[in-house]
Structure 1
Amino acid sequence: MTVRKLALLAPFVFAFAASPALAADAIDGVYVDSGGYVEVTVAPCGQARCGKITRIIRRKPGESDRDAHNDDPALRDRPILGLTLLSGLQWRDGAWRGEVYNPEDGNTYRSVVRAGTNGALEVEGCLGPFCRKRIWPAKSR
């Protein structure tokens, strides 16, 4: 290919590389939480991305299969299976930004989510300036 043809194609290549639609595909998939307790499926939900618990691999010792730690007493009896952990994820400033719900403490945090190495998902939950990152490996096939 000549230099001139490459120069003509460059804007299109960069436009597609920076496209949120392509970035959106980068996090869709099935992951295992960092403790190995549940599978989380990340997929489109409206104009955003969400992550729901789609399988319980094993229960935490002493924990039920309900959202027992939720701050809202009316939600404490809802099943963990099907629970949305990641919500409202939208591509901004080089990452997926939204919220992450932690059923271990019943709180929702500001989140930053990125595609990690080896197909993993990097999930960061933040409260004010303090953040905690977890790596969710891709589910083995």
Structure 2
Amino acid sequence: MITRALVSVASVAAAFTLGMSPAFAADPVNGRWITEDKDAVVTIQSCGAVTCGTISRFLVPPPDGPGQRDIYNPDPAKKKRKLLGLPILTQFKAEAAQWRGRIYDPKSGKSYRSILRRKDANTLEVKGCIGPFCQTQLWKRAK
């Protein structure tokens, strides 16, 4: 009788804990997202143990056309990489209600500490930070 009561209490506690877990977990960010400037689509997906994002489509052609290279990258070995397919979101891991990793800006050749957070099903908040200062963009889900 006591054993059944303990099993019942344990079952209720487990169900309650499982029901609360999603509230503390970061919402998935995978999918295709249009940048705030509406110049590109970034595809975010699992890259092994981390999440990453690559430029998958140009909505506004870059100055040198679709074959534009990563000319502003400070690493000479990376200057010949094409922007199309370039990973700009790297090393993202879920942490509480957000994702933390690095973001690369091919327009400046600089990388920043970054935080991603889903605002709703169709809006992704993207922050790039230097120290305590962050710049925020809102990306919209591509259809």
> Do Structure 1 and Structure 2 share a fold, with TM-score over 0.5?
yes
Q: 1: CA distance between counterparts of 2:94 and 2:102? A: 13
RMSD: 2.1
- Structure 2, gaps ≥5 residues long: 1-7
How far does residue 18 in structure 1 lie from its aligned partner after superposition? Answer: 4.8
Residue of structure 1 aligned with 2:138, choices 131, 135, 138: 135
Q: 2: CA distance between counterparts of 1:77 and 1:67? A: 6
Q: How does 1:1-141 map to 2 (within 5 A)?
A: 8=12, 9-15=15-21, 17-18=22-23, 20=25, 23=26, 26-60=28-62, 62-63=63-64, 65-140=68-143
How far does residue 19 in structure 1 lie from its aligned partner after superposition? Answer: 6.8
Q: What is the letter of the counterpart of residue 12 of structure 1?
A: L
Greater relative CO, 1 or 2 (CA 8 Å, sep 6+): 2
Report the TM-score, using the length of structure 1 for normalisation.
0.83
- Tell me the secondary structure at the aligned position of residue 81 of structure 1: coil
Write out the 4+ residue segments of structure 1 that deviate beyond 2 Å after TM superposition: none
Identity %: 32
- Structure 1, gaps ≥5 residues long: none
CA deviations over 1:60-89 (Å, ceiling 9, x no partner): 4x4551111111122112100010011110
Q: 2: CA distance between counterparts of 1:63 and 1:131? A: 30
